[in-house]
Amino acid sequence: MNPTNISALVQQFPILRRIQAEEEIAWINPEKTDHASSMENCELSMADIDNAEARLARFAPFIKKCFPETADQNGIIESILTPIPTMQAHIDQKYHSHLQGRLLLKQDSHLAIAGSVKARGGIYEILKHTEDLALANGILRQGDSYEQLASQEAREFFSSYTIQVGSTGNLGMSIGIMSAAIGYEVIVHMSADAKQWKKELLRNHGVIVKEYASDYSKAVKNGRALSDQNPRSYFVDDENSRNLFLGYAVAAKRLSDQLKDLDVLVDADHPLFVYLPCGVGGAPGGITFGLKQLFQNAVHCFFAEPTPAPCMAVGMITGLHSQISVQDIGLSGLTHADGLAVGRPSGFVGGIMKSMLSGEFTIKDAHLYDYMRDLLETENIFLEPSACAAFQGPVHLLQNDETLRYLKENHLLEKMPQSTHIAWATGGSLVPETIREEYVHTYLK
């Protein structure tokens, strides 16, 4: 982008200066509207989420057969919602968070198969593509049990097809593991910041991993180009996929039941605040969309991004979405939060979030490790550093002038004692023990 244009943008949106300096910021979305207005021109609806949920239920017998770790949930891939009162007391004492209400942890970090939130959208997209191929080619017929997709005949059929994806790590793992289980040839194009252990895990599943010295956007571009050359190859487009988005959105329906089990009420007098780590935007965007369908104006969603790579924040603040990257404003995009190391956001997600998202927090890499240790010490729960970006919201919601103004203007301040806060943990359970030890002893300035 032209430096002159960047200079004009910085004058128009002064908060960009703080972003350029890699300061931690809180930003409130001035274009957020009420739920009814936000849905007026939206291309997706609750019916799309219901359809995705039904498809996952059809695949449950297949998943149960191929992944025995899902047997206790009958092939449904879902994570627990955990109260973390000791962590809440700890961050209040250590960081003076003054958080009122109840703090919960949504442990997508421990989702079966892929150990991250990507087990939702990534796996769903592969299952959707698999269903389409199977029905079109007589491998499945309406009414069949999807368990038969685990047969040798089905595997041989799918082995003549290829799945490709560009990834910083977790999406590649979810797509690679599930695609290999079905029988596809799988190629994952991984950016330089992807962790070595994730590449090795994929190779152990028979996945071809292509490595790039550049960032996520380059891996996606090359992956898409290579896939386009093969008529039997399917490219998973993390930046624009409606299927990925809807796979993530199903999480909201599952969460609704879990909140009821914990006797958590969500309505105008009992607001729900959800804090979601954000990379390109698909996972947090899909989850936010789903939550908005269920809880409408009673839910307030905030994304959290690393200070060197706040691509969604930059896209939404300027209104340019995918037409601007963090590199355009002078940031490196290099961060310890490998799953969030994205320079350019999804324009598709940004367009939907424009009227739904409450705001954004950014977080320095050093604080990712601090929150990781805090949670491990207080609740004995391990998350990978990028997942710990979610705690920036609960820590700073009542400390920041921008977010305090949001609470006041929306008449939420007086309702905070009966509020609920969810830190959405996006990954961690598959991290090898040796790497966990490295993380625990990593201290940054």
**Helix segments in 164-267, DSSP class H:** 170-182, 196-204, 216-228, 242-261
The H-or-E segment that residue 186 falls in is strand 185-190
pLDDT in tens, 344-374: 999 999 999 999 999 999 999 999 999 999 9
Indicate if the pLDDT at residue 233 is higher than 90: yes
Indicate if the pLDDT at residue 4 is higher than 80: no
CB atoms within 10 A of CB 440: 14
Under 8 Å CB-to-CB from 39, ≥6 apart: which residues? Answer: 45
- At 195 the pLDDT is 87
Indicate if the pLDDT at residue 1 is higher than 80: no
Indicate if the pLDDT at residue 304 is higher than 80: yes
**Cα–Cα distance, 151 to 129 (Å, whole number):** 18
b/e code 101-123 from CB counts within 10 Å (16+ = b): bbbbbbbbbbbbbbbbbbbbbbb
Determine the topology of domain 3-44+69-114+245-440 in CATH.
Rossmann fold (3.40.50)
- Adjacent-strand bridge partners of 211: 190
- At 238 the pLDDT is 85
**Cα–Cα distance, 150 to 112 (Å, whole number):** 18
Residue type (1 letter), 350: G
Q: How confident is the model at residue 377 (pLDDT cuts 50, 70, 90)?
A: very high
- At 445 the pLDDT is 84
Residue 265 vs residue 4, higher pLDDT: 265
Indicate if the pLDDT at residue 310 is higher than 80: yes
Mean pLDDT value across the chain: 96
Indicate if the pLDDT at residue 193 is higher than 80: no
Determine the topology of domain 116-242 in CATH.
Rossmann fold (3.40.50)
- At 24 the pLDDT is 98
- At 219 the pLDDT is 86
b/e code 326-357 from CB counts within 10 Å (16+ = b): bbbbebebebbbbbbbbbbbbebbbbbbbbbb
- At 220 the pLDDT is 87
- At 154 the pLDDT is 97
Rounded average pLDDT over 273-291: 98
| Prediction pTM value | 0.97
Establish how many alpha carbons lie within 13 A of residue 103's alpha carbon, considering only the half-sphere containing its beta carbon: 25
Phi/psi zone of residue 169: left (φ > 0), alpha (ψ -120 to 50 degrees), beta?
A: left
Indicate if the pLDDT at residue 241 is higher than 90: yes
Give the CA distances from residue 68 to residues 75, 76, 110, 112, 126, in Å, rounded to whole numbers and listed in that order.
8, 11, 15, 10, 19
Q: Hey, what are 300's tokens? A: 């307030």
The fraction of the chain above a pLDDT of 70, given in percent, is: 100
Asked if 196 and 169 count as a contact pair (C-beta separation under 8 A), the reply is: no
CB atoms within 10 A of CB 16: 20
Under 8 Å CB-to-CB from 200, ≥6 apart: which residues? Answer: none
Indicate if the pLDDT at residue 321 is higher than 80: yes
Rounded average pLDDT over 209-222: 86
Indicate if the pLDDT at residue 239 is higher than 90: no
Indicate if the pLDDT at residue 3 is higher than 80: no
Rounded average pLDDT over 25-29: 98
Which of 426, 325, 305, 309 shows the shortest CA–CA distance to 367?
A: 305
Which of 229, 340, 335 shows the shortest CA–CA distance to 283?
A: 340
Query: Which regions of the chain carry the CATH code 3.40.50.1100?
Result: 3-44+69-114+245-440, 116-242
Rounded average pLDDT over 36-41: 96
Q: How confident is the model at residue 2 (pLDDT cuts 50, 70, 90)?
A: confident
